[in-house]
Chains A and B, each alone.
Chain A
Amino acid sequence: MTFRIRSLIAGSAMFAVLAAGLVAAPVRAEEITYVSGAVGNAVEDFKKIVKPWEEKTGNTVTLVPMPASTTDQFGQYRLWLAAGNTDIDLYQTDVIWAPQLADQFEDLTAAAKDLAPQHFPSIIESQTVNGKLVALPIFTDAPALYYRKDLLEKYKKPVPKTWEEMAATAKEIQDAERAAGKKDLWGFIWQGNAYEGLTCNALEWIKSFGGGQVVEADGTISVNNEKAVAALEAAKSWVGTISPPGVLSYQEEEARGLWQTGNAVFMRNWPYAYTLGNGADSAVKGLFDVTTLPTGGGNDTSAATLGGWNVAVSKYSKHKDAAISLALYLAGPEAQKQRALIASNLPTIQSLYDDKEIAEKQPIIPQWKDVFLQAVPRPSAPTKGKYNEVSAKFWSSVHDTLAGKGTAAENLEMLEADLDELKGSAW
């Protein structure tokens, strides 16, 4: 039934296109497969976002949902691509993957020659490897500090500007609320599982303490310094005091679960949690706001890890034309606006930050432009194909530190030695 309606729509769409005297009408309906990690409402949202494209072209898109952990997704994608899998046409790729998977994706430079200049140049650049545009950005990400307005007001506390202030406020509110009977309340929750998300969290601590960004843009390994040690020691002091000990196994969704049931004062998370936190089933609906992440150790600039997702066309796809058309649509203004409205994902097209409708319905987004313009990239560009291993070594030594296996100073010293060896003569 749906098939018949689809082909009917496809038929009429074709007729309309031909009647308008345009060329390149779709010859027949194609079935495109799109694979993406599924966080929050991603699966339902995706259906809404691609609907106009499906109606316009007559093609259908099937979403293959993957685990939320980017590390898990990467492993599977690498395997599929190495095997030349023809079942998947488009991959939703993390901002850090471009250098590692560049050979397996189509070059989109020519197809996106009109669209690419509308995006922020830094994001397009992050997806360009040796002059090849590997993937098109569909949204960008920079985390925020979520805070409970009601609790801060109740205890007459300002929105914290530094990590130290945040920890003190969190502790005070947590103790007072627990004494008042809210036994399960925690001060601050974040992502401490040993995975890519911990690399993001820890990079923010270190950078906002003025301790550099693990591996600098020129390839120097900078992670072993006093400020980085101070940052990790501060984070270590949260575990078990203002953060639950279980935070060491939390990813984004576990943290959001705790937050959305009203059991946390502060949370570090990506913008997607904003819309979900204001959903009908949320215990904190209307009770929270977001701000930039704090600074620490007397440093005056905060840091947010640059995240974001892109769409890449598989070299092994059998429907390349349709796939490229879908990629252009998803990276285009229409889809990005829709995504911003329903999922509070940050657009990568500059003009959308001045869009009235977005400003009205998602006030967080215009505010966020400056945050992500100053966001810190993970060292995926300088470390190239070895990024995953660098990141895994980094998160392992941070996880060890937080779990109390060795001090921050010892672990970072070992990490420096390991990275140095991994680097060899050059990355």
Chain B
Amino acid sequence: MTSPSTSPARAGTGAELSLQQQRVRSAFWFLAPMMVALIAAAAWPLFRTIYFSLTNTTLSSLYEGEWIGLGNYLNWRTLSSGKTIYRGTLVDPAWWNAVWNTVRFSFVSVLLETVLGLLVALVLNAEFRGRALVRAAILIPWAIPTIVSAKMWAWMLNDQFGIINDLFLNLGIISEKIAWTASDATSMYAVLMVDVWKTTPFMALLCLAGLQMIPRDIYEAARIDGVHPVKVFFRITLPLIRPALMVAVIFRALDALRIFDLIYVLTPNSSATKTMSVISRENLIDFDKFAYGSAQSTLLFAIIALFVAAYIWLGKVNLTGENR
């Protein structure tokens, strides 16, 4: 690019520097649209939510909120009797109940989905006729919008007309109709079941991608050495797909921790299934406690960040894509 006749003496170092600079510059321009989109779609709303959580904004006066510091998280006043009472999200039992519900739901659902997804992926990884068709078919639950599948399952789980009760009654598994989504004892199981049904294909797909990266010759070598298939799975397959699996689990955990639609549609608005997202939406909109709901949203963000950070640290997940 540079003309050698104008500055022959510095041509060598100049070209080197400018090449590096050019790289940085073009990288910047390639990244800029994505950065702008990220700032507009993620950083700015997040910043606004955190800001709102430090004010007393209501939904009917969005721009008139006053700064009140951390009052939505924790505040206290001393009564005339000298007793101090604490208020705010951090001491709100309804909030901690929702956190517990969410964490419990996430742990169980991600665990089940990972195990089942891996099993499905192993089956799909085998060579058999019609494999492409089965691979496509298994993705259907994932492709149906959550609202639609939640409503569909709500009818299937309906205590009076539902096909599940009818099936179980005829098979003699249950003796009387169960109100799956209404009863506190079963509603969480109902949610878990539908979520597992819906998301297992997603996990299976990610696991399958990992499985297909494993070179076939390793398996051949194991077979020639006469290694037992179970041992092959635990010594070869699992360690080799571990990076892919860890990333898949992060995706699912992020998703599960902010679950809203399935619970909102499938179960009554009871404390047995209310999650962090459900309770913060309720405060934001239904109760016109916009700032309080923002504080809960901020905590939701913090809790998810904490979980993911702990997971990456404990699992030593390699997110850079470079070989160790």
Interface residues of A, Cβ cutoff 8 Å to B: 71, 74-75, 78-79, 81-82, 100, 103-104, 184, 192-195, 244-250, 254, 257-258, 263, 385-386, 388-389, 392, 396, 399-400, 403-405
A37 and B179 CA atoms in complex are apart in Å by: 26
- Interface set, chain B 211-243, CB cutoff 8 A to A: none
A74 and B281 CA atoms in complex are apart in Å by: 13
A399-B161 contact, Cβ under 8 Å, with A71-B286, A392-B282: no
Tally of B interface residues using CB under 8 Å: 27
Closest residue of A by beta carbon distance from B184: A403
Q: B22 at interface (Cβ–Cβ under 8 A)?
A: no
- Number of A-B residue pairs, CB cutoff 8 Å, is 90
Residues of chain B contacted by A248 (CB below 8 angstroms): 179, 182-183, 268
- Interface set, chain B 285-310, CB cutoff 8 A to A: 285-289
Interface residues of B, Cβ cutoff 8 Å to A: 59-60, 62, 158-161, 177-179, 181-184, 267-272, 281-282, 285-289
A103 and B145 CA atoms in complex are apart in Å by: 36
A385 touches B288 (CB 8 A): yes
A-B contact pairs, 11 of them (CB 8 A): A71-B286, A103-B60, A104-B60, A193-B182, A244-B159, A244-B179, A246-B160, A246-B177, A399-B270, A403-B183, A403-B272
- 10 further interface pairs, Cβ-Cβ under 8 Å (given A78-B286, A403-B270): A75-B285, A78-B59, A82-B62, A194-B269, A248-B179, A249-B179, A258-B160, A389-B289, A400-B271, A403-B184
Residues of chain A contacted by B181 (CB below 8 angstroms): 246, 249
Nearest 9 pairs of A and B residues by beta carbon = A246-B159, A246-B179, A249-B182, A248-B182, A245-B179, A194-B269, A194-B268, A193-B268, A389-B287
A244 touches B177 (CB 8 A): yes
Closest residue of B by beta carbon distance from A249: B182
A78-B288 contact, Cβ under 8 Å, with A195-B269, A249-B182, A249-B267: yes
B261 shortest CB reach to chain A, Å:
13
Closest residue of B by beta carbon distance from A184: B160
Residues of chain B contacted by A192 (CB below 8 angstroms): 182
B287 touches A388 (CB 8 A): yes
Q: Which of B60, B182, B282, B287 contacts A247 (CB 8 A)?
A: B182
Q: Which of B178, B268, B285, B289 contacts A399 (CB 8 A)?
A: B268
Residues of chain B contacted by A100 (CB below 8 angstroms): 288
- Among B62, B182, B286, B287, which residue has the most Cβ atoms of chain A within 10 A? B182
B270 touches A194 (CB 8 A): yes
Closest residue of B by beta carbon distance from A264: B160
Residues of chain B contacted by A400 (CB below 8 angstroms): 270-271
A100 and B288 CA atoms in complex are apart in Å by: 9
A258 and B285 CA atoms in complex are apart in Å by: 32
A75 and B290 CA atoms in complex are apart in Å by: 12
Residues of chain A contacted by B269 (CB below 8 angstroms): 71, 193-195, 392, 396
Closest residue of B by beta carbon distance from A74: B286
A183 and B281 CA atoms in complex are apart in Å by: 41
Residues of chain A contacted by B287 (CB below 8 angstroms): 386, 388-389, 392
